Amino acid sequence: MKHRYLPMTEQDKKDMLETIGVEAVDELFGDIPEKVRFKGDYQIKPAKSETALMKELYKLASRNADLKENVSFLGAGVYDHYIPVIVDHVISRSEFYTAYTPYQPEISQGELQAIFEFQTMICELTGMEVANSSMYDGGTALAEAAMLSAGHTRRKTIVISSAVHPEYRDVLKTYAKGQYLEVVEIPVKNGITDVDVLKEMVNKDVAAVIVQYPNFFGRIEPLKELEEIIHEHKAMFVVSSNPLSLGVLTPPGKFGADIVVGDAQVLGIPSAFGGPHCGYFAVTSKLMRKVPGRLVGQTTDEEGRRGFVLTLQAREQHIRRDKATSNICSNQALNALAASVAMTALGKNGVREMAAANIQKANYAKNAFKQVGIEVVYDGHLFNEFVIKLNKPVKEINQMLLQKGIIGGYDLGRDYPDLANHMLVAVTEQRTKEEIDTFVKELGDIHA
């Protein structure tokens, strides 16, 4: 069989079999018991040529309504943001994307240094002292933060705000079951975590309190107030945060957060139907030796040159086995690289300017909805999302909008039964005034 990925010729095969001392390749599989040997061929689709396959898959991709052809107001944890063109050029360098985890530092300095820079940038944005090399995504990072908290405090209850992303909460519950932790949800009052209820719920059994900043409804949680309540009971203060928003928002580190997690998808990573994205995990220095996942540290070589290595590996699964702080191995290195390039391109000024543009455009859209008589629910300070109340099911409205090339907002009724007919609208820096005006007009017409 000839295939462009398989260089072996008949002559090679003959020579190699001779060296091995067998007649046929089949003999090498003689240790597979007859009873379990697979005979025949997989009943799967036959191979296609490069051209034919690309054509077929292009057609398949074209059956999806993408965010390039359509105008999106959908967020809820995944956003259509500016991705500097150079990001894809950097991550397409195959020295990066075809490498494995940098186990051999002498020939992996590029990847290691890039991760070290990523760790630094995440620390800068979150106001934390230590950040790891990445996690799968924001949801599993949040679950790992809960597990770290439980292990560190030796307590078994995790309190989480219902204004945290519903899918993140679902992931947490699955992990909590694994670890025999109890998860308690705090209700929302006017779109913000209900502080009075929180006060009643935090006690000496609570390992961590988890809130989202900005929260799932786009609102700014009162971290200062929350911190006092949480630390009074020596629980861990965990904040799940959109890292882009921290270009303008006071970082959670400033408010005394113990662990800050989130997803760097907003920084240079395409939506890709929900993954791969890029979780991040940042902590105070006292938790440094409990962080899950890989950490890159600076050191020197025998000649005194600066270099980088994977470090504090005593925390990790390949050394600690069942005593490891987490089972994570592969994380999202290439996407962390993408986020690094985006953060580098944006730099100190761009990240603030981009974050501010989100606030400005979302507020503009919010006010425009009010002007056409659509009610804004949970009205108040926001980052780039807000909630509107409609008089028809959101699913139905979104199908109408799609006909006009608009991807409407998120149907909150899916997760919050009392928010049926409520839409979570996301407005990023990508949306033009014209697009916003059209969206508001179309929705106004449907709503009228």
Span 87-106, contacts to another protein by CB under 8 A: 88-90, 92-106
Q: What are phi and psi of 15, to 5 degrees?
A: -65, -40
Residues of 98-129 as b/e, b for ≥16 C-beta within 10 angstroms? eeeebeebeebbebbbbbbbbbebbbbbbbbe
The angle at the Cα of 83, spanning 77 to 86, to the nearest 5 degrees, equals: 145
Number of C-alpha atoms within 13 angstroms, CB side, residue 313?
A: 9
- Nearest CA to 227 out of 201, 250, 197, 258 is that of 258
Contacts with another protein, 426-445, as mask; x by CB under 8 A: ---xx-xxx-x---------
Chain centroid offset of residue 430 CA? 20
Binds another protein (CB under 8 A): choice among 10, 23, 48, 146: 48
Q: Which stretch binds another protein (CB under 8 A): 193-201, 204-212, 227-235, 264-272?
A: 264-272
Smallest distance, another protein to C-beta of residue 55, A: 11
Smallest distance, another protein to C-beta of residue 98, A: 4
Smallest distance, another protein to C-beta of residue 118, A: 10
Binds another protein (CB under 8 A): choice among 140, 149, 153, 193: 140
185 membership: H or E segment, kind and range: strand 182-186
* 305 lies in the site for another protein, by CB under 8 A: yes
Can you read off the two tokens belonging to residue 218?
């786009």
Binds another protein (CB under 8 A): choice among 359, 388, 406, 443: 359
Smallest distance, another protein to C-beta of residue 139, A: 4
* 322 lies in the site for another protein, by CB under 8 A: yes
* 23 lies in the site for another protein, by CB under 8 A: no
Q: Closer CB to another protein, residue 56 or residue 204?
A: 56
Binds another protein (CB under 8 A): choice among 63, 154, 373, 417: 63
Can you read off the two tokens belonging to residue 145?
């933060």
Q: Which residues contact 386 (CB under 8 A, 6 or more apart)?
A: 217, 218, 362, 365, 366, 376, 378, 379, 424, 425
* 50 lies in the site for another protein, by CB under 8 A: yes
Euclidean distance between the first and final Cα of the chain, in Å?
A: 65
d(CA 372, CA 390): 12
The residues in 209-228 that bind another protein, with binding defined as CB under 8 A, are: 220, 222, 224
* 299 lies in the site for another protein, by CB under 8 A: yes
* 13 lies in the site for another protein, by CB under 8 A: yes
Smallest distance, another protein to C-beta of residue 204, A: 23
Q: Closer CB to another protein, residue 52 or residue 232?
A: 52
Binds another protein (CB under 8 A): choice among 187, 189, 196, 250: 250
Binds another protein (CB under 8 A): choice among 10, 23, 29, 200: 29
* 19 lies in the site for another protein, by CB under 8 A: yes
Give the CA distances from residue 305 to residues 88, 103, 299, in Å, rounded to whole numbers and listed in that order: 30, 19, 8
Binds another protein (CB under 8 A): choice among 228, 356, 372, 404: 356
Q: What are phi and psi of 260, to 5 degrees?
A: -120, 130
* 300 lies in the site for another protein, by CB under 8 A: yes
- Other CB atoms within a 10 A radius of the CB of residue 187 amount to 12
* 184 lies in the site for another protein, by CB under 8 A: no
178 membership: H or E segment, kind and range: helix 166-178
* 372 lies in the site for another protein, by CB under 8 A: no
Smallest distance, another protein to C-beta of residue 206, A: 20
d(CA 147, CA 141): 10
The residues in 193-212 that bind another protein, with binding defined as CB under 8 A, are: none
